[in-house]
Amino acid sequence: MKEKERVVFIDFEFTMPDRNSRRKGFYPEIIEAGVVLTERGQIAEQFSTFVVPVKFPALTERCKSFLNISQEQVDSGISLQELAGRFNNIQGNWPCCIVTWGNMDMKVLRHNCQQASIPFPLSGREIDLSMEYKRFFGDQNQTGLWKAVQEYGREGTGKHHRALDDALTTYHIYKLVEKDKRYLQKPEPTTIGDRVDFAKLFNKFA
């Protein structure tokens, strides 16, 4: 990682339609954001916030039950415009690497910004850590976030499907995977001079 590069770990929770729902024009909207900013591998800032959806502001019963989020919590959240502003502040002028578990978070953020005519607030390399994990371990299927951390013999942080807890869990898996990558990197091949102490050898036969 570059000296001043920042790595941002992001997790969102989205609105969900009811089962068999036929809401015309429905699309998922961000209702909770969890963000962890690291600098040189250490947490520099973190925040979580509820976000008010624009297109379908009333949560479905399925959404409230699955995410354990109330309508009141979401209604008290910030706007998508304010969330974009917070991302702008985090990004600053330094290079930024964005890490998520799966590709939905960035897809939904882009689509939500597009629908609200808000410029996309992040720039830089985007990493889908679930695909990195899949390639690294040779899994045929993508592994869920909390299953992945349990496969490392650890437990996730806090509660699954809470945005900040999932962002922190993603950060911890990222560190574990990066450590394993370094461990498996082949060292530089040794030369015969590294393997044999010629001074001792010559003394032996002198």
| Domain boundaries, position 201 | 6-205
Catalytic, out of 13, 155, 160, 188:
13
**The tokens 């390399």 sit on which residue?**
125
Q: Is there a domain that residue 168 lies in? A: yes
Q: Is there a domain that residue 56 lies in? A: yes
- DSSP annotation of 92 reads T
Six-digit token string for 183: 């461990």
132 is annotated as an active-site residue: no
Centroid of chain to Cα 206: 63
Six-digit token string for 104: 């939905």
Instruction: Report the interhelical angle of 104-115 vs 80-91 (nearest 10°).
Output: 120
Residues 170-190, mean pLDDT to the nearest whole number: 74
Residue type, position 205, single letter: F
Residue 23 CB contacts under 8 Å (≥ 6 apart), including other chains: 17, 56
Mean pLDDT of the chain: 84
- Report the run of H or E that residue 82 belongs to, with start and end: helix 80-91
Q: Is there a domain that residue 1 lies in? A: no
Sign (positive or negative) of CA dihedral 166, 172, 176, 182: positive
Q: Is 24 helix (H, G, I), strand (E, B) or coil?
A: coil
Six-digit token string for 123: 């720039």
Catalytic, out of 111, 126, 161, 172:
161
Q: Is there a domain that residue 143 lies in? A: yes
| φ, ψ at 111 (rounded to 5°) | -65, -45
Residues 110-132, mean pLDDT to the nearest whole number: 94
Q: Is there a domain that residue 96 lies in? A: yes
Q: Is there a domain that residue 182 lies in? A: yes
Tell me the pTM: 0.82
Residues 70, 64: contact at Cβ < 8 Å? Answer: yes
161 is annotated as an active-site residue: yes
Tally of structural domains, the chain: 1
* CATH code of the domain containing 201: 3.30.420.10
Residues 131-153, mean pLDDT to the nearest whole number: 76
Per-residue model confidence as pLDDT tens digits over 38-65: 998 899 999 999 999 999 999 999 999 9
- Amino acid 3: pLDDT: 46
How far is Cα 86 from Cα 122, in angstroms, rounded to an integer?
A: 10
How far is Cα 9 from Cα 129, in angstroms, rounded to an integer?
A: 10
